[in-house]
Amino acid sequence: MTIIWSEKAGETFQRNIDYLKDNWTQNEVDKFIARVFQYLDILSSEPFIARRTFKTKYTHIGLIIPHISVVYRVKPRKNTLEIVTFIDNRQSLKKNRRFL
Domains of the chain, earliest start first: 2-89 (3.30.2310.20)
Q: Is 92 a residue whose pLDDT tops 80?
A: no
Q: Which pLDDT band holds residue 88 (cuts at 50, 70, 90)? A: confident
- The reported pTM is 0.87
How far is it, in rounded angstroms, from Cα 87 to Cα 26? Answer: 21
* Cβ 55 vs Cβ 73: under 8 Å: no
How far is it, in rounded angstroms, from Cα 9 to Cα 7? Answer: 5
Q: Is 40 a residue whose pLDDT tops 80?
A: yes
| Pairing mode, strands 68-75 and 80-88 | antiparallel
